Structures are given as C-alpha cells and as structure tokens.
Amino acid sequence: MLQDAGDEVAFGQGDLYLPVYWGAIPRAYLLPRMAFRQGMLSMIELNGGYNAHAESALLAAQNIGVQLSARPETGHRRMVVGEFEKLSHDCHRDVAQRALIAPRNSSRDVDKPMLKFLVFSDIHLVDTGATSHGLDTHSRFSAGIDWVNTHHADADFCVLAGDLADLGFQGATEPYQRLKDQVARLTVPCHITIGNHDNRDTFLAFFGEGLRAETGCIDKVIDAKGHRTILLDSVVEGPEHTHGGALSRAQLEWLAARLGEHPGPVNVILHHHANPLHTMVDRIRLEAPEAFAEVLKTHGDIRQVIAGHVHYTSTAMWHGIPFTTLAGSHYGVTVPLNGAERKIDRLWGPAQMAVVLCDDDQTLVHFENYLDGNPVLS
C-alpha cells in the first residue's frame, strides 16, 4: 500500500509538476515526430517548490512552440506557438506569464526570480595519496561535487571561497590540478578566490592569468538576476607568511567602485572573517576590518558578507551589516566561548556548504552538511 504522495510519484502514480525540460525525455528526437492539432493551447503547472524556475519554464515552453511552428506545412501538423504567443499577440504577455506559470500552492511573484548560489570553503586539497589531519580531503570535496550535481543542479553558480590547497603557501602544486579536475565535473558555473593556505601565482598558473583583477588579486564581480556578488582575495603574501588576511588600498577602492555602480542588492564573499567572533580565531582575522566595513556602509543594500577560514558557523550583525561564516569542507572545531585558552579539538566534520537564496525581500543562508557523520535515527 502506498503511504503518501511521495510514494505515489516514485511508483508512477502521481504528477511531479516539474519545470519544462527537466528529466531525461529525448525531446530533440520526439518533438519533430509529434503531431498536433492547429490552434492547440498549452499550459504549465509547477509544484510550489519550483518557484525559482518559473521564468525558465516559460522560456523553455516558448522554445518548444517556436521549434514546432517552424516546421514545414504538413496539413494538421502545423503548430502555433501556444497560448503564450496567442496572449502576447493580444498585448497580454505579462498576464500570460503570471496566469499560466504561477506555481501550484504559491503566491510568489514570478517577475522576481530567486537567485541561488552555493559556497564552499576550506577544501584543503593535498597531493595524491596524502591526507590532511587524517582526512582524505580530495574524496570529501569529490563528494561535495556529487552532492551539488545531484541536489543543486538548479543553482545559478557555485563559489569556492579559499583554502583550496592545504599547503599551497608552502609550494604545493598538484592540489591545484586536482582541484581543476574536480571543478570540471560541476554542472553549474564555478567562481573561485583564494585563502591563506593558497599561493596566488600557483593558482593562476593552473586556472589562468585572466582571473587576476586590476587590483593584482583574484577579485571578481558576478551579476545575476539583479543581484551582484563580489569575490575578494584576502591573502597576504610576503616573506613571512601569516594566516591572517588583508585587503589592500587598491582592493578597497575597487570594492567601493563596484558597489557604487550597482544600486541593487549585493553579497560579498571572501576567505577571512572581518567581524570579531570573540574566540581565538580573531588572531588571524582580516586586518583593518573597520576600513572594510566603512566601504561596505557606502552601499545601502549589503545582504551578506560570507567567509570561511574559521571552520565553524557563525552569524552576526556588525556595523549594521550581516556577516556569516561557514564550517567548510575540512575538519570542524570545538569553539570555547567562555574566554578560556583551552585546547581546540579538531573534529571529523561535518563537511559543509552554504546554500544562499536571494530575492527582493531577503537573502537566506542555509548551512548544508553534505557529509555529516551523525547516525540517522529515523
């Protein structure tokens, strides 16, 4: 006996209401072989969980109509673009979009698409056969790639926020080739900056000098769905390596310019945390954090400043701006919160990514453990 709606779908006895083109139906083969009556109308029904895909579903359906209407005349096989085109010919395209692709059980305005992106940090890849603190970081990151491809193929992009290699700052090179091989498996676009365990020139030797911004660092702007995401390279390079971070004057000026040219919502991602966490990791936080905060305050809609580095999760409101850290893909740590200078324990995990959802009303950060280690109770 089937227990719930999920069972019904699994056994083919329910409707998925998936976005158009999802799944493995060979549409390129089938569509030219299908016959349709003239004047046939089409309709899309979406499950409420697919709000973010309403616009792409409409475009996909229109694309089907265009393909079919472009076929040669063969009697009743002539196909109009569908109800979308019919209504748009009547100057009611907006009505078509709202009425026909509104997700089931949802009042969300489809004219406001949701941006979804993922953040990995603290990957700490090592040479083949090596481990870092007893962890096979390559297999952990590979599991993260698999998780994204399986569960988050709808993401607009993915960000790797530094500490890509474990010993890049000591001259390791193979981890960057291993990283490149893994990134090539991602089914979503990937954008990368570096952390204190990395070497800037070595990274660029593998991923291309074109990733170096005019600041000389691996800084980047990503514009998608009305939101701007800014990546900042907070690595300090010099004869004496420090695990702390910094932003140069050139970077702060560049950041101010990028904020000034975009009035819409902005998220900022860098490796080092700027706000004080009041734990021992503040010894290696971003230098001159107040200068960074002052630049951020020149913009009226900074949604999140997301960092890795510390190997644990935290959220804060600092200078009126939301700051977040994620635990990342490497080991986790116990966090003494009573000010005691006691030993910090390194933990097996979890291996964690951030799943960030942005629309006009909010920016939401989920912390998703793709490797957890906890037993499943039920």
Distance CA 256, CA 259 (A): 5
As beta bridge partners, residue 229 has 222, 267
Distance CA 318, CA 141 (A): 31
316-368 residue pLDDT tens:
999 999 999 999 999 999 988 876 667 789 999 999 999 999 999 999 999 99
Q: Where are the domains of the chain?
A: 5-100, 115-371
Backbone angles phi, psi at 213, to 5 degrees: -80, 175
Distance CA 304, CA 358 (A): 10
Predicted pLDDT of residue 336: 82
C-alpha Rg value of the chain to the nearest Å: 24
CATH number of the structural domain 115-371: 3.60.21.10
Counting every residue written for the chain, the total comes to 378
As beta bridge partners, residue 113 has none
Q: Name every residue whose Cβ is closer than 8 Å to that of residue 181 and which is 6 or more positions away in sequence.
A: none
Predicted pLDDT of residue 293: 97
Predicted pLDDT of residue 89: 41
Nearest to 52 by CA among 95, 119, 120, 111: 111
Backbone angles phi, psi at 192, to 5 degrees: -135, 140
Distance CA 355, CA 365 (A): 6
Predicted pLDDT of residue 60: 56
Backbone angles phi, psi at 31, to 5 degrees: -55, -45
CB 264 within 8 A of CB 304: no
Sign of the torsion formed by the C-alpha atoms of 346, 350, 351 and 357 = negative
- Look up residue 57 and give its amino acid: A
Predicted pLDDT of residue 34: 72
User: In this structure, what token pair is assigned to residue 317?
Assistant: 């409101």
Helix pair 93-100, 54-69: axis angle to 10 deg? 120
* H or E element at residue 316: strand 314-318
User: In this structure, what token pair is assigned to residue 59?
Assistant: 């475009």
300-317 residue pLDDT tens:
999 999 999 999 999 999
CB 287 within 8 A of CB 270: no
Predicted pLDDT of residue 373: 85
Which residue positions in the chain have pLDDT lower than 50? 28-29, 66-67, 70-109
Give the CA-trace dihedral at 86, 90, 91, 94, to 10 degrees: -50
- Look up residue 9 and give its amino acid: V
Predicted pLDDT of residue 348: 93
